[in-house]
Amino acid sequence: MKKGISLSIKARITLWYAMLLVAICTAAAVILVGISEHAIDAYSRDTLMSAAVVLMDEMEVEHGMLEIDTDLEDVPNVYASLFEEDGRLIYGRKRVNLPFEDGAVRETKGAGHSWYIYDVRLSIPEKGTVWLRLYLSSDASSGVYDALAHYSIWLLPLLGILALGGGYLITARAFRPVKEMTQLAASIAGGKDLSCRVVTPEGGTGDELHTLAATLNAMLERLQRAFEHERQFTSDAAHELRTPLNAMRIQGEYALTRENCEEKDEAIVRMLEKNGEMHALVSQLLMIARMDAGQTPLEDACDLAQMVVQAAEDMQPVADERGVRIETEITPCVVQGNRAVLMRAVINLTDNAIRYGKENGLVRIALHAEGEEVCITVSDDGPGMDKEDLLHVFDRFWRADSARTSQGTGIGLAIVRAAARMHGGEAYAESEKEKGSCFTIRLPKNRKRKTEKR
């Protein structure tokens, strides 16, 4: 089966625009002709009737004779004739052969002209019945119609050509962003970078296509940030995994060269330690990947007070190693969400405060409600952070220079933020040099999941 001719949207809009404009102009011309014809008919009727009234006043009967004043011919553009009832001419000139019809205005031709004719039947004493016939030339109106038809023959095609040209220019300019978007999509599909944008005039026109272009640019901006974020995430993950893998390889090679069982066992223990670090890192990566993908169920009734107590108990041995005291301030609060994820977030904050707080210092965990929100706050009295560090503290694999020698993967606080956002909340950090740091998780009592912005 043969396919029909496929026209572009631009061509179709141009054709529709041209046809619609020509149709509107044609309809306007027809309506104008109809209105003009009606107006001319009404004008002719009123003129003839008014002239008849004037002329009947000019006629008198004296001594049985009909007296006609010379003013009978003074009515502008109107010609008058008087006839006997049998059609014999009494006064004026017979211009057409047409039966008399009292009170009727008719259009006819005669003596080489077109006429509007109005007949009035008069009953004159001692004279009987006579007919007053009035003539008004309709040649002028006929000339107008002929001229209009003549000019329409070449004006309408010219109007169609102008409409096609103008419509094409307007449509081409309006669809320019679509062409740019098509080229941009083809460029991205071809494997080029996402830094290209649809170019729009400064200030924009505010129409739908420019709004679409702006939306596409914003989407590309988000996609570019997301790809860069994922690329950096992959690079950082590979770097973090390479370190324990290299350590395991070195310990394995070392164990192979040792004959002493104690040295072999010591190398194997260190390999197992590095394997544990890798397992912990991979588990954290899987957790945050599932949270990003929205694959974590949020159907648990989470008793946050119980979580805080349990986290303080679980982290007490780590706190004892550094002589840190853990205090809690708890208000009973329950939210709907994922118990394991929220528990991991609280433990990560507590572990972070213990490790980077002051030795023999204090870590305070507070849980309280503020209006429609629930706040979990973990604070320490450690050395604090710079303002620049606060900007990146929740970034994945980021660690402050002072923390790089300590244990940790640099992903714990990223899990905290992802957990908060997954539950429709947010995570915040506050810190001052030599005054400690404070990390806060705010969760809504009525959960509404929030998409992480990248």
**pLDDT for the residue numbered 207:** 64
CA 301 – CA 275 distance, rounded (Å):
34
- Mean of pLDDT values over 13-33: 75
Using pLDDT thresholds of 50, 70 and 90, give the confidence band for residue 405: very low
Residues in the chain: 454
pLDDT for the residue numbered 443: 92
Q: So what's the pLDDT on residue 1? A: 44
Say yes or no to pLDDT of 251 above 50: yes
Provide, rounded to the nearest whole percent, the portion of the chain with pLDDT above 90.
12
pLDDT at 175 over 60: yes
More confident residue, 240 or 2: 240
Instruction: Report residue 426's pLDDT band, with 50, 70 and 90 as the boundaries.
Output: very high
Structure-model confidence comparison of residues 367 and 278, the more confident one: 367
Q: Residue 133, Cα to own-chain centre: how many angstroms?
A: 72
Paired tokens of 96: 């057409």
Between residues 319 and 248, the one the model is more confident about: 319
- Is it the case that residue 391 has pLDDT exceeding 50? yes
Q: For domain 9-167, give the CATH number.
A: 3.30.450
The topology (CATH level 3) of 297-444 is: Heat Shock Protein 90 (3.30.565)
**Is the pTM above the cut of 0.75?**
no
Token pair 């208000």 is found at 331
In the predicted structure, residue 29 carries a pLDDT above the cut 80 = no
Answer yes or no: is pLDDT of 282 > 80: no
280, pLDDT greater than 80? no
pLDDT band at 349 (very low <50, low <70, confident <90, very high): very high
pLDDT for the residue 403? 46
The pLDDT of residue 346 is 92
pLDDT for the residue numbered 325: 92
Asked if pLDDT for residue 404 goes beyond 50, the answer is: no
- Least confident range from 100-109, 121-130, 151-160, 388-397: namely 151-160
pLDDT for residue 451: 45
Q: Between residues 117 and 152, which one has the greater pLDDT?
A: 117
Q: What is the mean pLDDT of residues 48-56?
A: 80
Least confidently predicted of 11-25, 81-95, 291-305, 368-382: 11-25
Residues 420, 345 contacting (CB under 8 angstroms): yes
User: In this model, does residue 283 exceed pLDDT 50?
Assistant: yes
Establish whether domains 9-167 and 297-444 are of one fold: no
What distance lies between CA 314 and its chain's CA centroid?
A: 51
Whether 176 has a pLDDT exceeding 80, the answer reads: no
Of the listed ranges 83-87, 302-306, 331-335, the least confidently predicted one is: 83-87
Model confidence at 365: pLDDT above 90: yes
pLDDT the model gives residue 92? 79
Res 366 pLDDT > 80: yes
Give the residue, 36 or 3, on which the prediction is more confident: 36
Render pLDDT for 211-238 as a digit per residue (tens, 0 to 9).
Answer: 777 787 788 788 777 777 677 667 666 6
Read off φ and ψ for residue 389, nearest 5 degrees.
Answer: -65, -35
In the chain, domain spans: 9-167, 297-444
- Return the residue matching tokens 């009592």: 445
* For range 274-303, the mean pLDDT: 77
The residue with greater pLDDT, 90 or 200, is 90
Please tell me the predicted confidence (pLDDT) of residue 453: 44
Average pLDDT, the chain: 77
- Residue-level pLDDT at 146: 64
